Amino acid sequence: MSDGTPADQFFDAAIGLLHRVREEESAAIAAAGTLLADTVEAGGRLFAFGAGHSSLAAQDVVYRAGGLALMNLLPVPGAVGVDVVPATLGSALERVDGLASAVLDTSPVRAGDVLVIISLSGRNALPVEMAMAARGRGVRVIGVTSVAYAAQTSSRHGSGTYLRDHCDIVLDSKIAVGDAELTLDTIPAPFAPASTVVTTALLQAVMATTAQTLAARGVEPPLLRSGNVDGGHDWNTRIMDEYRDRIFYRR
């Protein structure tokens, strides 16, 4: 561990990871941003999915100021977020075979769309099956995961594969197995996870690339403004009306 307080050490660890993904994932970020821009321009729809704490990064790109209005959350009841009680049920649902296919069958996702799947370990049945089933339906898949898990853990899907094995583009978060950056002799378990910080930054980098790519092609990126600035509500109403057939979080 480096010198300084645990807070300093965590910031150092998170900044180090951000530097790594900036340098090592630049090509994948560019490819993901281009794929999203291609899909927007072609009339396709955009979806994001994550289970448990991985859902935080998915939710961060849906219906937010400065974000793409076309990014929709693909919900899996009981698995998106940690609001289900008991919280352990969400983890159990990630291991249920067939759940992902059932969700896709009843969702608006269709061929020509893009689905971003976020799973730190990429080892559970739900994200693996989600990627496999989506691609089988003609959906392009961007996976956001820690590739290290595939080398250091066993898959929980019957195929023995991981999320990374079923994606068109993989974004590697570089998070170490266990997702805890700090240790202390006086604390028996490692602590201070950084996966949310890094994964969220990765996805926002992709969104920024998408916006710039669309603008370079002469297409206005369908971006949302903050509802807390003057004119923001009117702006968002215009964007949502223009793209109403591709936005599913608004009724």
With a pLDDT cut of 90, the percent of the chain lying above it is 85
What are the C-alpha distances in Å from 30 to residues 11, 148, 214? 26, 22, 13
Q: Per-residue pLDDT for 86 more than 90? A: no
Q: So what's the pLDDT on residue 2?
A: 54
99 contact partners, CB below 8 Å, separation of at least 6: 76, 79, 93, 125, 126, 129
Alpha-carbon span 76 to 59, nearest angstrom: 13
Which two structure tokens, joined as six digits, stand for 171? 């974004």
C-alpha 89/C-alpha 66 separation (Å) is 33
Q: Is the peptide bond before 127 cis (omega within 30 degrees of 0)?
A: no
Is the per-residue pLDDT at 25 higher than 50?
yes
Cα torsion 250, 241, 49, 226 to 10°: value is -90
The reported pLDDT for the residue numbered 160 is 92
Residues 200-223 have pLDDT tens digits of 999 999 999 999 999 999 999 999
